[in-house]
A and B are shown apart, each in its own frame.
Chain A
């Protein structure tokens, strides 16, 4: 099966694995369809928003 993003591993090799950019790009890793990747992206971003809310709450 043809991979969705052939150059993804080259890109991921150049990103910090603890970074948001890595997490966002990694949404496409092993995704079989674009819809699957989009769903993962949305989940990653929602998780980011939850983390931002939680960090803001704990900061006060």
Chain B
């Protein structure tokens, strides 16, 4: 990804007039004296991608200091604060990313923004393939506060940061997923074994059985059954104080023991009496009404006479010649002449068909009534047995069992018990209601059967009403029984547990259970053993995984060390104290040290090693921070690289090395787009000179009016342009502005001198360039220039100019504007006469 341009409005030092900076594909230089908007420009880029300032998020203890810091304080209320950039992506497409500040930081809250890509709102820049981890330094933007982060961070943070740079956190994720999957797959509940383990301490019987089962590796179902039946026989002997009959001893010991345990438990409290059964499906009470209705219709339409005449019609129509004749015939039964016309024969046929349908309908109706009677009987019978037996308890029984319950149950559960017993009476009442309604339906059904037999119509409406009444009663019983069962289930469970506990029958019940169902415990044992073995293998696999991950990390550490050292050698080629390597402290990854080598000879042989943090100077720590930053973003390039004053003002001596060596390596060995911001116009110009073949884009950032904010001007690094920039400041009444103007004017004068000297040398055939005079001041250059001034009066004017602009004369006292304007006019004249002609 490359940046085509950046546009800023109303953000920090930028004012209401949007400023656009167009970037060179390889190198762009942004120059600005302090407090002219350089940092605002770099932070605008950071804000565009992240929606925040890392300086606030990571590097301050008091976020309140950043309240209302993003929006320019002088901005009119209607003006928007935004940052936008045109990005050229790796696939060659270009996209416009724009972030608008909708709410600034306050002392309590974060800022709010809206982000769009080509006008479409987006959540974050993930759509552009930009990962936002790890913080800080999520972007290839190096600023003053991040320069030494990797070096100065606390050990744990440094280790985390470097690990994340090395990007092995994905392997941590894999390890974590394996561990979680193993826990999920390998940990199972084994209910019977859990019961065995919880009870074996108090029961020699169970201890013996469990020990035997554990000896079987793996146990078969037959083996478990044999052991459990043997234990069941022993248990029966202990409880009943007699032996099982020989014929029951082998196969049925578990079953007999279970029954004995149940009997003993029921003797303490008849828990099973509290258990409700299930009512039959209420759909069985649906009356098949259609056959009855059809029967009633048929019965109503068949008249008694028709029934009587049916036999006559059948015999008449059965005669062959009657069936075939079309003319009127004499009736063969009553001998009435011409009585059988075609119409009459047809009517006789219809009557016969009706009678046949009637017979079928009656038969079906009789079946329905008879089936319903049978179903009704069955439903009622099973309804009665679904009610818990306790509903039949007499009062003295209730009192007797309550006393036991009071002893066994917790007070809270006991209240539920009382409610359930009361509920039983209500259930009995509801059952009686159902019975009464069923008797009514029965009477109506029998009456209907009689009516059908007699050929009469069934009173369907009365029957329907009675059935509906019965169904409602049945449903009420069903829902009350369900409510009872819900409330009674936990009571029964606690009673069962308490009875077993009090009676000491739990181990016997468990032996009986295992003897009756050996397959379950055999399977639990086999499965548990297999999963234990699997767990051992997974633990060993995770150890192997850890070793391999450490190897990967070490290899990557080695690579990163080499890369950091490579950049260090570019930045500080001649230091006898140098960065040597990154090193894990001990075996773990909690501490990672930057190791430095100290040597007495330039060959760096036989060095001593120390931790860099302890022995490096401030300047060296800065260089190490820069080397680490470069190594990191060369490893995982995003496409561009922004360096905000990578060499501090206090370290001016290393600027030349940076400009020559580091920038050159970035441009030659990578395809990165490099953006360098610097407070030093001189350094900015030097970069432009060094890489003139590109040539780089250069911008000058300045503020002449706080309301107007930072103005970004493209710098064409010509003498003419230098003069024009100086002119903007030189005439100002503001002393600081004038000081800048004076400096710019001095730079232009130095440039004039260099260009004139180079021109003269070239005319003599010397191969030289302006950079040959890097670092030379106006006072160094002036003597060489004086002899080339051909107009006598120019010499005095040039000396005056040199005096006015030389450092020292105005560091404390800035020359007045009039003096600077005269100097500017003279310099422009010299340029015309000696350089531009």
Contacts and interface: CB of A to CB of B under 8 A. Distances in A.
A56 B218 contact: yes
A26 to B, nearest CB: 10
Interface in B499-545: 526-527, 529-531, 533-534, 537-538, 540-542, 544-545
Contact of B545 (A7, A15, A60): A15
A15 B546 CA distance: 10
A24 B539 CA distance: 12
B177 interface: yes
B171 interface: yes
B666 interface: no
Interface string B112-126: 000000000000000
Contacts of A8: 170-171, 174
A52 B549 contact: no
A21 B547 CA distance: 11
Interface stretch (B180-188, B294-302, B770-778): B180-188
Nearest to B529: A56
Interface residues of B, number: 36
A33 interface: no
Nearest to B523: A53
Contacts of A16: 544
Chain A binding surface, main DSSP class: helix
A14 B551 CA distance: 8
A34 B552 CA distance: 22
A56 B177 contact: no
B185 A7 contact: no
Given A42-B181, A56-B218, A49 B167 contact: no
Given A42-B185, A53-B526, A11 B548 contact: yes
B178 A5 contact: no
Contacts of B530: 49-50, 52-53, 56
A48 B174 CA distance: 18
Contact of A48 (B170, B218, B537, B549): B537
Contact of B177 (A6, A14, A41, A52): A41
Pick the most buried of A6, A10, A57: most chain B CB atoms within 10 A of its CB: A10
B217 interface: yes
A8 B168 CA distance: 9
A57 B549 CA distance: 35
B533 A38 contact: no
Contacts of A6: 167, 170
A8 B170 CA distance: 8
Nearest to A9: B552
Interface string A26-60: 00100000100110011001101110110011011
Nearest to B550: A14
Given A7-B168, A8-B171, 12 more contacts: A5-B170, A7-B167, A11-B549, A15-B545, A20-B537, A25-B545, A34-B177, A42-B185, A52-B537, A56-B217, A56-B218, A59-B217
14 contacts: A6-B167, A14-B548, A15-B544, A20-B540, A21-B540, A21-B544, A24-B538, A24-B545, A37-B177, A45-B185, A48-B534, A49-B527, A50-B530, A56-B218
